[in-house]
């Protein structure tokens, strides 16, 4: 995954297993903080992150046409910021990656749909809007 250095703006390649870690920019040697925003993923990136993540994942299955998904987006972003270094938040556009939606039966349950995973296993799944505290609670419980 490519991340831009907040200090110098140079692009850095970060292995999926280190997205939740603090690192150093290859150019300016400045600090690269843990990812603190939702990561838009396709199937290949999703699988890479799920298979190598060392922290719990919150996956937000959504679509551009979905009103409740748009309402959930700022909450999902807040969770990504708050849980940086302790969890990773992924966003899956179900129209762009329908195979992921099928894999998690999202189409049958509806969107938005939230899945919490740890070490490649589904810990929790819930369709519909949920608040910030609930998402953080799921991730904290998944850490144990």
Q: Each residue of 27-68: pLDDT tens digit?
A: 999 999 999 999 999 999 999 999 999 999 999 999 999 999
The C-alpha torsion from 52 through 77 and 5 to 2, rounded to 10°, is 40
Q: State the pTM of this model.
A: 0.93
Q: What is 35-142's CATH topology?
A: Glutaredoxin (3.40.30)
Give pLDDT, residue 107: 81
- What is the CA 91 to chain-centroid distance, rounded? 6
CB hemisphere CA count around 93 (13 angstroms): 8
Q: Are 40 and 93 contacting, i.e. CB atoms less than 8 angstroms apart? A: yes
| pLDDT for residue 144 is more than 80 | no
Mean per-residue pLDDT, 64-74: 96
Residues marked as catalytic: 66, 69
In the chain, CATH 3.40.30.10 sits at 35-142
Query: Can you give the C-alpha Rg of the chain in angstroms?
Result: 15
């Amino acid at each position: 995954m490519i991340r831009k250095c907040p200090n110098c703006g140079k692009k850095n390649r970060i292995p999926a297993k280190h997205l939740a870690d603090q690192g150093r920019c290859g150019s300016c040697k400045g600090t690269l903080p843990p990812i603190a925003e939702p990561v838009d993923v396709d199937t290949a990136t999703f699988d890479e992150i799920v298979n190598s993540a060392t922290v719990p994942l919150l996956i937000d299955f959504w679509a551009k046409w979905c009103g409740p998904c748009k309402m959930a987006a700022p909450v999902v972003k807040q969770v990504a910021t708050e849980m940086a270094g302790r969890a990773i938040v992924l966003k899956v556009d179900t129209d762009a990656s329908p195979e992921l939606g099928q894999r998690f039966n999202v189409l049958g349950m509806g969107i938005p749909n939230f899945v919490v995973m740890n070490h490649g296993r589904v810990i929790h799944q819930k369709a519909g809007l949920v608040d910030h505290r609930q998402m953080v609670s799921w991730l904290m419980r998944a850490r144990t």
